[in-house]
């Protein structure tokens, strides 16, 4: 039987338009390298686009096959697209892959879908399209990963990859988060993670990694996120890649997910030498409770991890993001408090207090009944109750997470929070616990910066001295905000005469500056609204005689 030329469309439904998804480009590159008679194209969109607009675009392209990667953020959206496409293109074959379908036992929940691909999709999608083109398509079924060697896969970074970035939304890789995969798999088996079901790690040759990074940079990449799990598990390989990144003449930022306890002296020395904002790290602590770590098969030297986080943050040249997971087995409100306090003591630039998701295929989901878990039936399958945490206590942590994200992670309330933590509360966790309770009564805290300062000011005045509260809020407001719009009730004591004198000097001529008197400590401060530090977000501040 002859082979018919067919049109396959890989549809990428991202979480945000700035994301540059990788999976469909890997599949397309593999298919193009092995099946030139199959025309494979990629269509990129995101969950913020109306479904009708996406369906219309797909309909106009009139594909024979549609492949969509499904994740917790797009699975419901994807189902609606598949159902609608089947109505208007009934002969179109719909294929779903990705983690949301890689552990399904049947197609029962996907009545308009023809095939599910489980595991890596490159070779499986190629085999399926070849069968369809030859008129030998199997009946509706689940197709398993072919298990090929990752190192042998062709590069996804083709001319079409870069051309597709020029869309009517204005997105291009210089204003997108570009994903890069230099290795596949994870050497660890944490029970809450899908990496726990895979075995072994496959790595691309270092020369290929360097060539592909160079190619991305030549097309204007401004932020490249390595999707490798536990990037520093192979310390020598990480050091080699970091040394290459250090050698580059670029303003691009490279993002890595790492284990805090696996940094050695060589890695720390390389990081210390990096230009500001060249690299950033996301460090998974998850828990500091030994029974919890044992229950999820996570082997971590917490003391070493936190010490390394502290070392890196004091370098002041790279952003450090730390993750905790609320709702893990045996994690109580008290152990969560200890985790928050210990992590904040290391002074990361961001602390994300996430909430456990019982992902399909994860070991925790398989043993959820034994651990007394209750979780949502719909994505993202967030835990509502655990064997050590009631719903009420999880909701308390959500209040705390909300204010940590608003006030700590923004970095723009640093002096006020330091004052409150040292003088008004026993621990930083206590500060955010009480602040979380307080903010429940003020409505939406995602408001203008001036209003946010006003909310924090009233909180500090309630628990501390009025003059001190106004002093630190004023200091924060003028340090981080070029507009300097002080909350109502705080008097502006701006000294424009001194400003005029300074602007007549060579050092400050033409600069946006502000001189403000602070009655609390009887000092004048000069705020220079230029050269904000890219990590701390602080504008230069000088105390004047």
Q: Which of 151, 186, 204 is the last residue of a domain?
A: 151
Same domain, 134 and 189: no
Residue 310: inside a domain = yes
Q: Give pLDDT, residue 169.
A: 43
- Which of the four pLDDT bands, split at 50, 70 and 90, describes residue 95? very high
Same domain, 188 and 305: yes
Number of domains within the chain: 3
- Which of the four pLDDT bands, split at 50, 70 and 90, describes residue 444? confident
Q: Once rounded to an integer, what is the mean pLDDT over residues 69-81? A: 94
Q: Once rounded to an integer, what is the mean pLDDT over residues 506-529? A: 95
- Which of the four pLDDT bands, split at 50, 70 and 90, describes residue 164? low
The 3-state secondary structure of 175-194, one letter per residue: HCEEEECCEECCCCCCCCCH
Q: Give pLDDT, residue 4.
A: 54
- Which of the four pLDDT bands, split at 50, 70 and 90, describes residue 285? very high
Q: Once rounded to an integer, what is the mean pLDDT over residues 131-149? A: 88
Same domain, 377 and 261: yes
Q: Once rounded to an integer, what is the mean pLDDT over residues 97-103? A: 94
As a whole number of angstroms, the longest Cα–Cα distance in the chain is: 91
Which residues, including other chains, have CB under 8 Å from residue 411's CB and lie 6 or more apart? 349, 480, 536, 537
Assigned token pair, 501:
């004198």
Residue 425: inside a domain = no
Q: Considering only CA atoms, which of 535, 489, 492, 528 is closest in space to residue 512?
A: 528
Helix axes 302-315, 333-345, angle to 10 degrees: 40
Domain of residue 227, CATH code: 3.80.30.20
Is the pLDDT reported for residue 183 higher than 90?
Answer: yes
> Which residue range(s) make up the domain with 80?
6-151
Share of the chain above pLDDT 70, in %: 97
The whole-model pTM stands at 0.94
For 348-367, the pLDDT digits (tens) are 999 999 999 999 999 999 99
Is the pLDDT reported for residue 398 higher than 60?
Answer: yes
Same domain, 356 and 312: yes
Top mean pLDDT of 168-177, 194-203, 428-437 is at 428-437
Residue 406: inside a domain = no
- Which of the four pLDDT bands, split at 50, 70 and 90, describes residue 168? very low
Q: Give pLDDT, residue 1.
A: 44
Residue 426: inside a domain = no
Same domain, 183 and 105: no
Q: Give pLDDT, residue 325.
A: 98
Q: Which of 151, 182, 201 is the last residue of a domain?
A: 151
Same domain, 18 and 64: yes
Q: Once rounded to an integer, what is the mean pLDDT over residues 254-280? A: 98
Give 176 or 197, the one with higher predicted confidence.
Answer: 176
Distance spanning both ends of the chain, measured CA to CA:
90
Q: Give pLDDT, residue 196.
A: 67
Same domain, 112 and 206: no
Q: Give pLDDT, residue 16.
A: 84
For 477-502, the pLDDT digits (tens) are 999 989 889 999 999 999 999 999 99
Domain of residue 46, CATH code: 3.40.50.280
Same domain, 194 and 292: yes
Same domain, 179 and 143: no
Is the pLDDT reported for residue 431 higher than 50?
Answer: yes
Residue 434: inside a domain = no
Q: Once rounded to an integer, what is the mean pLDDT over residues 208-216? A: 97
Strand 523-528 versus strand 541-544 pairing type: antiparallel
Residue 265: inside a domain = yes
Q: Which of 346, 367, 389 is the last residue of a domain?
A: 389
Alpha helices in 346-465 (DSSP H): 363-366, 391-403, 414-419, 428-439, 449-463
* Segment (H or E) for 41: strand 38-46
Are the CB atoms for 30 and 154 separated by under 8 Å? yes
Residue 409: inside a domain = no
Same domain, 474 and 534: yes
Same domain, 327 and 475: no
Same domain, 147 and 195: no
Query: DSSP code of 101?
Result: T
Q: Once rounded to an integer, what is the mean pLDDT over residues 9-23? A: 89
Q: Give pLDDT, residue 239.
A: 98
Are the CB atoms for 409 and 445 separated by under 8 Å? no
Share of the chain above pLDDT 90, in %: 84
Assigned token pair, 478:
């003028």
Residue 166: inside a domain = no
């Amino acid at each position: 039987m002859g082979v018919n030329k067919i049109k396959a469309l890989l549809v990428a439904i991202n979480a945000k338009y700035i994301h540059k998804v990788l999976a469909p480009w890997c599949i397309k590159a593999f298919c193009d390298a092995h099946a030139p008679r199959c025309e494979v194209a990629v269509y990129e969109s995101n969950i913020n686009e109306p479904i009708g607009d996406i369906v219309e675009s797909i309909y106009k392209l009139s594909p024979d096959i549609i492949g969509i990667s499904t994740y917790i953020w797009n699975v419901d959206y994807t189902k609606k697209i598949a159902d609608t496409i089947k109505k208007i293109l009934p002969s179109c074959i719909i294929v779903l892959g990705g983690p949301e379908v890689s552990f399904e036992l049947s197609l029962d929940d996907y009545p308009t879908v023809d095939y599910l691909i489980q595991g890596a999709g490159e070779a499986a999608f190629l085999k399926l399209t070849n069968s369809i083109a030859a008129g030998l398509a199997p009946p509706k079924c689940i197709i398993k990963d072919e298990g090929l060697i990752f190192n042998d896969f062709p590069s996804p970074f083709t001319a079409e990859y870069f051309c597709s970035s020029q869309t009517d939304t204005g997105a291009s890789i210089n204003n997108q988060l570009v994903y890069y995969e230099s290795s596949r798999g994870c050497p660890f088996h944490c029970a809450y993670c899908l990496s726990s079901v895979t075995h072994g790690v496959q790595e691309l040759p270092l020369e290929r990694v360097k060539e592909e990074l160079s190619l991305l940079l030549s097309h204007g990449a401004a932020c490249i996120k390595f999707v490798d799990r536990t990037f520093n598990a192979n310390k020598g390989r990480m050091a080699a890649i970091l040394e290459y990144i250090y050698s580059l003449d670029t303003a691009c930022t490279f993002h890595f997910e790492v284990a805090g306890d696996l940094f050695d002296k060589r890695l720390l020395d390389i990081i210390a030498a990096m230009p500001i904002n060249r690299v950033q790290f996301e460090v998974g602590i998850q828990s500091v409770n030994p029974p919890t770590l044992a229950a999820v098969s996570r082997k971590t030297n917490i003391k070493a991890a936190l010490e390394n986080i502290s070392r890196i943050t004091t370098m002041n040249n790279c952003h450090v993001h730390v993750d905790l997971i609320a709702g893990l087995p045996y994690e109580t409100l008290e152990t969560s408090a200890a985790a928050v306090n210990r992590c904040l003591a290391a002074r990361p630039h961001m602390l994300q207090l996430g909430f456990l998701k019982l992902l399909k295929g994860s070991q925790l989901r398989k043993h959820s009944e034994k651990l007394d878990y209750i979780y949502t039936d719909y994505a993202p399958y967030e835990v509502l109750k655990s064997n050590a945490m009631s719903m009420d206590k999880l909701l308390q942590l959500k209040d705390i997470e909300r204010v940590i994200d608003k006030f700590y992670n923004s970095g723009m309330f640093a002096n006020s929070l330091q004052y409150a933590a040292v003088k008004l509360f026993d621990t930083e966790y206590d500060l955010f616990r009480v602040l979380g309770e307080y903010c429940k009564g003020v409505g939406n805290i995602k408001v203008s910066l001036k209003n946010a300062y006003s909310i924090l000011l009233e909180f500090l005045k309630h628990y501390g001295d009025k003059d001190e509260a106004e002093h630190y809020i004023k200091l924060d407001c003028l340090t981080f905000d070029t507009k300097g719009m002080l909350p109502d009730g705080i008097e502006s004591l701006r000294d424009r005469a001194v400003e005029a004198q300074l602007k007549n000097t060579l050092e400050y001529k033409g600069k946006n500056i502000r001189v403000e008197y602070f009655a609390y400590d009887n000092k004048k401060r000069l705020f220079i609204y230029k050269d904000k530090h890219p990590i701390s977000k602080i504008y230069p501040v000088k105390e004047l005689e």
